Amino acid sequence: MRRLRARLGLGLLVAAFTASVYWVFTRSEPVIRHREVTIYFAHWQIERGPPDGINAAIKRYEELNPRVHVVQLQIPGATIYPQWMRSNLAGDTGPDLMEWGAWLPGEKDIPARYFAPLTAELAKPNPYNRGTSQEKIPWQDTFHDKLLAPKRDSPDPGQIYAVNITEVTLRLFCNVELMKEVLGRVVVPRNFDDLRKILAAVKEFSRKTGRPISGLAGSRDTTRAVAEAVFVAPLIGVAQRLDDAGMLYLYNRQMLAAYLAGRWRYREPAVLAGLQLVREATNAMKPGFIQLRRDDAMIEFLRGQALFFFYGTWDATSLRRLAPFKIQPMKLMQAMPDDPEVGRFVVGQGGEGIGETSLSMYLNKASRHPAEALDFLKFLTSVPGNQLFTDASLWLPAVNGVVVPEEIRNFRDYQEGLSVGQAPYDALGTEVSTGWDRNFYHLTGDQGSAEQFAAAMDAAMPAAMRMDLNAEMRATLVLVKPQDPVIAGWAGLAGEKAKTRREEAEASQTMSEGLALQMQLQLAKTKPAP
Amino acid sequence: MRSVRPARIILSLLIWPLLAAGAGAPADLDPAWTALTNSRPQDVLRLLRRDASARAERLAWAAGRIGAQPASDASMREAEAVLAELAPGPDEIAAEAAYLRARIYQMHLSEPDFPKAAQQYAELAARRPQSHWAQLGLVKLGLLKLYLLPDSTDPAADRLAPAEALLPRISEPLLRRDLDLQIGQAGIVLHQPLARYLPHLIAAEQVGGITGTAGEDLIVQIGVLSERGGDWARAREYFERYLANYPTNVRAFTIRQKLEAVNRRLAQEGGA
């Protein structure tokens, strides 16, 4: 009996061992990794397109670099990504490369705290561009816009922290069949007044036929995009008035300080004119749109219940793959000086810029493999790497020398014109943005008006603008303080490279310190009486 | 070989007093300095001792203490105590220690003491005027004078003047550039007359090497501000430079328009 038990036990042990061996070799991760280094690349671009594009680049990169494995982490944006990013960075478990955007609410301090500047590397040619038109050109200058957004959004005016993968703009995506049904032909609006007439025709068509069709697919997210596009025209003159520094461009900190100093208000005529345009555009959306999200607006458009869907070219691939009708991208033209409603406040043609690159990727300061991570970024933003991304994603390339596929070539047909600044007056900071959303109902619908909305904003904004300017100042100081030990570190090391890096760090720190002190002064000067 | 041996002995004898005085071999501290450059000050505190005999090691420890999180006034006092010991010496370590000590008072305490920081920068500059750290301290002193320290004689005084007075004492071109840039930008924020601050912006730009968006902004600024001041030739020079360097920027459209206007003015005045 005892021997039988022993045999049974041994048999069970052998069976368990065999099952474990089978499991280990067939189901789980390999016991021995084939590649020495794994780097993680995290982003929120889970639309159709970018994951395919990034995978295509990874596949080629891994062929060229057999010791490196690149893992793409697709984290849903909006609510999940910011929390995921901050908790991982704080816990020192963040991926090597991460997407970040200046508009993410409450995340302004992230680059200064957690990302490494790339300025020195960007001054050198990208080795993966060898044999291409971009060979020998400094990496920074190979980008279509020379990295406008990473420079503008840098917490430190002397440093660049990111490189961009793609280029985006906003477009009116038109349901061609529906437009022919409504207007009898395809009409491309040449200015805001043309759009106004088309939207009125859709309303009339819907009334006559009883079909629930809107001019613009509506949602909270797309409304912000529409508002920012149409709001701008009358604000150009205001921006010119406030441009003391002569930069032809206003940073958020300057707009916030100017508001606190009483130099502009939402209720002033030019800003009211801009709000009136926003009201006209949002009145072309279905009731209750403010409760809906981007995906709801897209579904409305794909069901043929809206003539236009206005959003970024980042949605173009999804729309093309999902829509059962032909789509034509058009520009949302701004109001001009001859506009019958607001023309007297418009000083000239507003511009879209000449293409702004986007999908900004940052190098985690705490990366275990910074050299490999940086190398992968160089490949992804080289002519061959970015070509793979573009072809597989059908998103525009960020890099010069990449051939743009025929399907997306007209996305680069930009409207040149005058510019306003870093952000329209709805998104100067987290608090201003929240206040805009909270009060937006005053602007829309039968009960709303530009005047009501402006009054509500001007009541709420002094406190909100102060909080946002204070946040900008604190984010800048976050960058200044840690530079003291960094400068000491470079000073301690020998060699020309260390000397150059010390000089750069000293210059950047002084610039950031100056900015923080400017903001501190502006906050102190405009402090309300207790 | 025989001739090498005495040379080695002599060299060792020469180096020995330095080692005894705690100068230390620079290579020994490279991991600590590198950790500081990688923003990992906590590693420095693990690698080094506060009471090390080498002065450079104590300096690196203090720098690590300043940067390590969580930062508190107590940790800053610890760092300051070490820096205070190092600061009276005759070498660059002493100058750097004095500079970092002033930085603690200016930036790192929960309640900064700006007058004390200013006094320490001034003392360092008086004691070691050509030291890099004294020169850098003068830039920081300039910032304090521009924005934070009250003018002792006249509350309505020109705030740029005290910072401008520091410029001749800064012999390092890059540091002088940085203070010029700060005076120029402060002049705008403080609503000074254009002629007071524009020369500082031009002086900073002419030194070059300003990276990031700051360099780009500065070229636009000098062009636009020169245009506002009626200096059409200078405006044209900077607008042309901007368009050559940043043809795809969102501002290029406006600058092309401005360049056309400036060229018309120059043609009218016969300056084209």
A490 near B CB under 8 A: yes
Whether B260 is in a domain gets the answer yes
DSSP state of A435: H
Task: Indicate the burial class of B11 (C-beta count within 10 angstroms; 0-12, 13-18, 19 or more).
Answer: exposed
Residue in the block written with tokens 């993680």: A40
Nearest CA in chain B to A352: B250
- Other CB atoms closer than 10 Å to residue A64's CB: what's the count? 12
Among residues B96, B121, B149, which one ends one of the domains?
B149
Q: Measured between CB atoms, does A500 come within 8 Å of chain B?
A: no
Count the Cβ atoms, other than its own, within 10 Å of residue B18: 11
Taking CB atoms within 8 Å and a gap of at least 24, the contacts of B244-250 are: B245/B216, B245/B219, B246/A146, B246/B216, B246/B219, B248/A144, B248/A145, B248/A146, B248/A354, B248/A355, B249/A145, B249/A146, B249/A148, B249/A353, B249/A354, B249/B216, B250/A148, B250/A249, B250/A351, B250/A353, B250/A354, B250/A356, B250/A419
Helices (H), A27-123: 50-64, 80-90, 110-114, 119-122
Measured CA distances, A256 to A152, A334, A458, B243 (Å): 16, 24, 13, 29
Instruction: Identify whether residues B46 and B85 lie together within a single domain.
Output: yes
CB contact under 8 A, B139 and A510: yes
Written as one letter, the residue type at A313 is T
Gap between the Cα atoms of B62 and A55, Å rounded: 46
Q: Is residue B18, in this structure, part of any structural domain at all?
A: no
Residues of A in Cβ contact (< 8 Å) with B255: 248
| Residue A137 touches chain B, beta carbons under 8 Å | no
Residues B184 and B266 in one domain: no
Check CB contact under 8 Å for B211 and A494: no
- Interface pTM, i.e. ipTM: 0.89
Interchain CB distance below 8 Å, B213 and A484? no
Distances in Å between the alpha carbon of B36 and those of A93, A366, B71, B212?
A: 20, 13, 15, 23
The CATH number given to whatever domain includes residue B52 is 1.25.40.10
Q: Quickly state the pLDDT bin for B17 (edges 50, 70, 90).
A: very low
Crossing angle, helix B212-228 and helix B232-245, to 10 degrees? 150
Q: Is the dihedral of CA B219, B220, B221, B227 positive or negative?
A: positive
Residue type, A186: V
The first and second tokens of residue A102, run together, are 């200046």
Contact B37 A490 (CB under 8 A): yes
Same domain, B135 and B61: yes
The answer to whether position B14 is within a domain reads: no
One domain, residues B60 and B121? yes
d(CA A165, CA A380): 7
Give the closest residue to A288 by CA, choosing from A228, A237, A342, A219: A219
Q: Does B147 sit within 8 Å of A521, measured CB to CB? A: yes
pLDDT for A28: 54
Assess whether B88 and B124 both reside in one domain.
yes
Whether B182 sits inside 8 A of A510 (CB atoms) is: yes
Q: Is A160 on the interface with B (CB under 8 A)?
A: yes
pLDDT confidence of residue A424: 64
pLDDT digits over A374-386, tens only?
999 999 999 999 9
* Chain A residues with beta carbon closer than 8 angstroms to that of B248: 144-146, 354-355
Res B5 pLDDT > 60? no
CA distance A199 to chain B (A): 29
* Structure-token match 């014109």, residue found: A417
Is position B118 within any domain?
A: yes
Residue % of chain B over a pLDDT of 70: 87
Query: Residue B45 contacts by C-beta under 8 Å, 6 or more apart in sequence?
Result: B61, B64, B65, B68
- Same domain for B81 and B173, yes or no, is no
DSSP one-letter code for B21: T
Domain shared by B122 and B184, yes or no: no
Distance in Å, alpha carbon of A493 to nearest chain B alpha carbon: 6
Q: Residue A350: its chain B contacts at CB < 8 A?
A: none
Positions of chain A with pLDDT under 70: 1, 24-34, 78, 157, 353-354, 422-426
* Residue B6 covered by a domain: no
Residue A24: its pLDDT value, please?
A: 63
Q: To the nearest 10°, the Cα dihedral for A506, A509, A513, A515?
A: 120
- Closest among B238, B228, B172 to B205, alpha carbons compared: B238
Residue A423 is predicted with a pLDDT of 62
Cα-based torsion angle of the residue sequence A208, A209, A212, A215 in order, rounded to the nearest 10 degrees: -60
**Better pLDDT: A429 or B128:** B128
Reply yes or no on whether the pLDDT at B152 is more than 50: no
Return the residue matching tokens 């986007």: A358
Claim to verify: residue B206 and residue B125 sit in the same structural domain: no
Cα separation of A346 and A276, whole Å? 13
Q: Residue A306 in contact with residue A213, Cβ under 8 Å?
A: yes
**Which two structure tokens, joined as six digits, stand for B168?**
């001749």
Nearest by CB to A507, from B96, B178, B216: name it: B178
d(Cα A470, Cα A428) in Å, to the nearest integer?
12
d(CA B201, CA B226): 11
Percent helix, strand, coil in chain A, to 5, is 55, 10, 35
- The nearest alpha carbon in chain B to A522 belongs to B189
Task: Please list, residue by residue across A332-362, b when 16 or more beta carbons sit within 10 angstroms of its beta carbon and e when fewer do.
Answer: bbbbbeebeebbebbbbbbbbbbbbbbbbbb
Domains in chain B: how many in total? 3
| Candidate from A365, A489, A513 with C-beta closest to B63 | A489
Find, in chain A, the residue whose alpha carbon is nearest to that of B27.
A493
In whole angstroms, give the CA distance from residue B102 to residue B80: 9
DSSP letter for each residue of A297-327? HHHHHHTT-EEEEEEEGGGHHHHHHH-SS-E
What span, in angstroms and rounded, lies between the C-alpha atoms of B165 and B20? 42
Mean pLDDT, residues B51-78 taken together: 94
List the domain range (segments joined by +) for residue B167: 158-210
**Residues B203 and B215 occupy one common structural domain:** no
Q: Look at A246 and B140 and tell me if their CB atoms are within 8 Å.
A: no
Same domain, B114 and B134: yes
Cis previous bond, B41, omega within 30: no
Sheet holding A327-330, edge to edge: A214-216, A306-312, A170-175, A327-330
In this structure, what DSSP letter does residue A138 have? Answer: B
Give A-chain residues touching B136 at CB under 8 angstroms: 506
Q: In angstroms, what separates the C-alpha of A238 from chain B's closest C-alpha?
A: 15
**pLDDT one-digit tens code per residue, A452-465:** 999 999 999 999 99
Task: Name the H helices within A303-429.
Answer: 316-322, 370-380, 383-393
Q: Determine the pLDDT at residue A413.
A: 80
DSSP string, B55-76: HHHHHHHHHHHHHSSSP-HHHH
The answer to whether residue B3 scores a pLDDT higher than 60 is no
Does residue B47 lie within any of the structural domains? Answer: yes
Residue type for B132, please? H
Spatial distance between the Cα atoms of B87 and B218, rounded to a whole number of angstroms: 37
Question: Does residue B92 belong to any structural domain of this protein?
Answer: yes
Q: Taking residues B154-182, report their average pLDDT.
A: 92
Give dist(CA B67, CA B44) in Å, integer.
10
Taking CB atoms and an 8 Å limit, are A246 and B254 in contact across chains?
no
Residue B222 has pLDDT above 70, yes or no: yes
**Is there a single domain that holds both residue B143 and residue B192?**
no
Q: Residue A327 — φ and ψ, nearest 5°?
A: -115, 135
Claim to verify: residue B130 and residue B218 sit in the same structural domain? no
Give the β-pairing of A356-363 and A162-168: antiparallel
CB B37 to CB A513 under 8 A?
A: no
Domain assignment present for B8: no
- Which of residues B210, B236, B254 is at a domain's end? B210
How far, in Å, CA of A282 to CA of A196, rounded? 11
Q: CB–CB of A242/A286 below 8 Å?
A: no
Q: Name the nearest CA neighbour of B249 among A155, A240, A247.
A: A247
Q: Which among A156, A486, A503 has CB closest to B36?
A: A486
CB-CB under 8 Å, A247 with B209: no
Please state whether beta strands A356-363 and A170-175 pair in parallel, antiparallel, or not at all (unpaired). Answer: unpaired
Of A114, A97, A210, the C-alpha closest to A479 is: A114
Give the neighbor-by-neighbor strand order of the sheet with A37-43: A68-74, A37-43, A97-99, A356-363, A162-168, A396-397
Distance from CA of B64 to the nearest CA of A (A): 6
Which of residues B149, B169, B201 is at a domain's end? Answer: B149
Checking if the pLDDT of B11 tops 80, the result is no
Burial A19-58 (b: 16+ CB within 10 A, else e): eeeeeeeeeeeeeeeeeebebbbbbbbebbbbbbbbbbbb
